[in-house]
Chain A
Amino acid sequence: MGKSLYDKVWEAHEVERMADGRSQLFIGVHLIHEVTSPQAFGMLKDRNLSVAYPGRTFATVDHIVPTHSQERPFLDPLAEEMIQALDENTVAHAIKYYGIGSGYQGIIHVVGPELGLTQPGTTVVCGDSHTATHGAFGAVAFGIGTSQVRDVLATQTLLLEKLKVRKIQLNGRLQPGVTAKDVALHVIGLLGAKGGQGFAYEYAGSVVEHMSMEERMTLCNMSIEGGARSGYCNPDAKTCAYLKDRKHSPKGLDFLKSQRHWLSWASDDDAIYADTVELDGNTIQPTVTWGVSPDQVVGVDGVIPASASDDVIDYMGLRKGARIKETKVDVAFIGSCTNGRLSDFESVAPLIRGQRVKAGVRALAVPGSEAVDRKAQETGIATIFKDAGFEWRKPGCSMCLAMNPDKLVGDELCASSSNRNFKGRQGSARGRTMLMSPLTVAASALRGHVSDPREVFGL
């Protein structure tokens, strides 16, 4: 019987199978940041433990960094205290740390792949639920809590229950103006915010095969929004090409050897899945959330459903049956671990060249890493965004969550390329978030209301 990638990676990394069915699993790559690691280092200290495999943990700083000026000390003393703790912990435990100005700092799920840390067939964990992003490379990647960060630091292993695998077969091709983000939102809308509980998602089919590595990262990134702790794509030639010449990728003969084993982790043709869902990529529309849970989605041409609950409608200030396209936008945000990569800005830049963000809309473009920022500056992309009326910021998580100065005010409504539309997520208890692709954010920013990128940009 064939095996899925998930089964193969799990078996290769299993240290021990417990009597209760759980496994002690070896972790190939551990990524840490300033929010969920300081307490874990504290727990190690309390128990007088050291870091078992410091060469397998990598750090950067992302959640709390201001995106305006990143000069130290930060104006926010709490943020400064957190970054200092990371500075100290990485030095004390000899952990590689890509801090501000290193040329590699950024959102951890943008930086890991850029550095070549994420490889097919390895296990990747981070104290952050969007760790499934790394599954785009055919890694088994998932978010963990701080006590588990402690476990990985102390032992490079975790005690885990194996997930079932659901294959999401995406057939056909995406239409112009439809992106990986739309696919992710569409899948979550279909299967529900908790539909993936107990599952790892394998994204497969011609839609995924045609996606770039960065699009696959966007797709895998949102797995947790559908309740799936992990999500992945099978490695192929694109995966290997992406990894060539990355800072921490194997070089020379090691790279050639690695390519062979990387491809061998892919699911077998006759792999057994606990469940399979087939979707037609041709019919997926640019998709937008209208509510406060990521499964509350509608095509950009659609209307707010009559079945919507009254308290959500009240919170969002919407009307049942109203076209989502009529919704006025106060803030536009392109960035985050979902959509803050170079290709996200590259895809938008030619479309907004020479145009202006609607007066009254605050528009932010926040590169996911120093590397993304550097390339966007070199190629003139950053200038195009600035000329169109976007603020071009420094790298960080920014307005995806409320841990740095980038926040919504009052009941502002944000057209956002981020990943969560929970109440208060973007920093104001009454703030409203509509999740959508960078193309749809850009179209909405230009028009001042939620807009169809196919219409605005003639796609």
Chain B
Amino acid sequence: MSVIESIAGYGLPLFGDNIDTDQIIPGRFLKCVTFDSLAEGLFYDSRFESNGNAKAHPMNTPKYEDASILITGNNFGCGSSREHAPQALQKSGFKAIIAGSFAEIFFGNCTTLGIPCVTMEEGFRLELMAQVESNSTEHVKISLEELVVKFGEWMWPISMKESARLAFLKGSFDPLSELLSRRAKVESLEQQLPHVWDLS
């Protein structure tokens, strides 16, 4: 698996706190058996009127068309555990998210998919968002090694749960191979547990 030490790309500022997974991908777009075509549903109800006309939304703004780093508020990704939300972001080209804070299940889902979610203090975040708004052709550069975000001459500190940061730096953010490596130990633990189900 690949190591992720840093991410660079154009930013997209999305203001607001408590942006929930129903906003990121409305329920009706969850009717699918693969994640392949989720991108079209991303923030659909925030981006489009019911007649399909585009609303004013950063994701409908041409200057952010090639953005790959989402910059947003507190408690991002709250609500449902649907992995469709980070999948829709990833399929739309987003490689990392900077926010005030993240909902836990969403954070875990992103980590497994290789989307680093880093947190940034509000004051710094608003500076970064203002910079990106005024200059959308400058790269936002996230360094997981140094725990900073750079933008032109600017630099701000970020934070990230250490276990997740190490997983990106070591390339072990998808845990399946690790989990598969202890079959015998899992089997012996299963034998020790006292729970009995009647499966007759």
Of all chain A residues, the one with the shortest Cβ separation from B112 is A147
Looking at the assembled complex, report how far the CB atom of B175 sits from the nearest CB atom of chain A, in whole angstroms: 4
Q: 1/0 per residue B65-81: CB within 8 Å of A?
A: 00000000011001111
Residue B180 lies at the interface, judged by CB distance under 8 Å to chain A: yes
Looking at the assembled complex, report how far the CB atom of B45 sits from the nearest CB atom of chain A, in whole angstroms: 4
Q: A147 to B176, alpha carbons, bound, how many Å?
A: 9
Looking at the assembled complex, report how far the CB atom of B182 sits from the nearest CB atom of chain A, in whole angstroms: 6
The one of B20, B101, B186, B197 that contacts A197, using a Cβ cutoff of 8 Å:
B101
Residue A122 lies at the interface, judged by CB distance under 8 Å to chain B: yes
Residue A235 lies at the interface, judged by CB distance under 8 Å to chain B: no
Q: Which residues of A contact B56 (CB under 8 A)?
A: none
CB <8 Å contact, B193 and A13: yes
User: Which of B3-11, B32-40, B133-141 contacts its partner?
Assistant: B32-40
Q: 1/0 per residue A398-436: CB within 8 Å of B?
A: 000111000000000000000010111101011000000
Residue B18 lies at the interface, judged by CB distance under 8 Å to chain A: yes
Looking at the assembled complex, report how far the CB atom of B179 sits from the nearest CB atom of chain A, in whole angstroms: 4
List which B151-200 residues lie within 8 A (CB) of chain A. Answer: 161-163, 166-167, 174-176, 178-180, 182-183, 185-186, 189-190, 193-199
The one of B20, B103, B179, B185 that contacts A154, using a Cβ cutoff of 8 Å:
B179
Residue A238 lies at the interface, judged by CB distance under 8 Å to chain B: no
CB <8 Å contact, B189 and A129: no
CB <8 Å contact, B163 and A422: no
Given known pairs A82-B33, A145-B108, the reply for A16 and B190 (CB within 8 Å) is: no
CB <8 Å contact, B175 and A151: yes
Interface centre among B30, B31, B75, B163 (most CB of A within 10 A): B31
Q: 1/0 per residue A113-147: CB within 8 Å of B?
A: 00011010110000111010000000000011111
Residue B50 lies at the interface, judged by CB distance under 8 Å to chain A: yes
Residue A15 lies at the interface, judged by CB distance under 8 Å to chain B: yes
The one of B104, B180, B195, B196 that contacts A198, using a Cβ cutoff of 8 Å:
B104
CB <8 Å contact, B180 and A154: yes
Q: A263 to B179, alpha carbons, bound, how many Å?
A: 31
CB <8 Å contact, B198 and A403: no
Q: A455 to B89, alpha carbons, bound, how many Å?
A: 48
Residue A21 lies at the interface, judged by CB distance under 8 Å to chain B: yes
Of all chain B residues, the one with the shortest Cβ separation from A121 is B195
CB <8 Å contact, A55 and B23: no
Residue A91 lies at the interface, judged by CB distance under 8 Å to chain B: no
Given known pairs A227-B103, A250-B198, A423-B45, the reply for A145 and B23 (CB within 8 Å) is: no
Q: A96 to B198, alpha carbons, bound, how many Å?
A: 13
The count of chain A contact residues (Cβ–Cβ below 8 Å) is 81
Residue B113 lies at the interface, judged by CB distance under 8 Å to chain A: yes
CB <8 Å contact, B186 and A15: yes
Q: 1/0 per residue B49-89: CB within 8 Å of A?
A: 01000000000000000000000001100111111101100
CB <8 Å contact, B182 and A424: no
Residue A453 lies at the interface, judged by CB distance under 8 Å to chain B: no
Looking at the assembled complex, report how far the CB atom of A392 sits from the nearest CB atom of chain B, in whole angstroms: 24
Q: Which residues of A contact B87 (CB under 8 A)?
A: 146
CB <8 Å contact, B163 and A38: no
Given known pairs A35-B30, A145-B109, the reply for A12 and B176 (CB within 8 Å) is: no
Q: A85 to B31, alpha carbons, bound, how many Å?
A: 12
Residue A159 lies at the interface, judged by CB distance under 8 Å to chain B: yes
The one of B28, B81, B163, B167 that contacts A129, using a Cβ cutoff of 8 Å:
B81
CB <8 Å contact, B81 and A403: no
Interface centre among B18, B27, B78, B185 (most CB of A within 10 A): B27
Q: A129 to B79, alpha carbons, bound, how many Å?
A: 7
CB <8 Å contact, B22 and A15: no
Residue A171 lies at the interface, judged by CB distance under 8 Å to chain B: no
Of all chain B residues, the one with the shortest Cβ separation from A129 is B81
Residue A20 lies at the interface, judged by CB distance under 8 Å to chain B: yes
Looking at the assembled complex, report how far the CB atom of A372 sits from the nearest CB atom of chain B, in whole angstroms: 22
CB <8 Å contact, A16 and B182: yes
Seed contacts A119-B195, A147-B83; 9 additional CB < 8 Å A-B pairs: A96-B199, A127-B82, A128-B81, A129-B80, A148-B108, A194-B75, A402-B27, A423-B45, A424-B22
Q: B residues near A, CB below 8 A?
A: 18, 20, 22-23, 26-28, 30-35, 45, 50, 74-75, 78-84, 86-87, 101, 103-105, 108-109, 112-113, 161-163, 166-167, 174-176, 178-180, 182-183, 185-186, 189-190, 193-199
Q: A residues near B, CB below 8 A?
A: 12-13, 15-16, 20-22, 24, 26, 28, 35-36, 38-39, 42, 47, 49, 52-53, 55, 63-64, 76, 78-79, 81-82, 85, 96, 116-117, 119, 121-122, 127-129, 131, 143-148, 150-151, 154-159, 161, 193-194, 197-198, 224, 227, 229, 247-251, 254, 257-258, 261, 293, 401-403, 420, 422-425, 427, 429-430
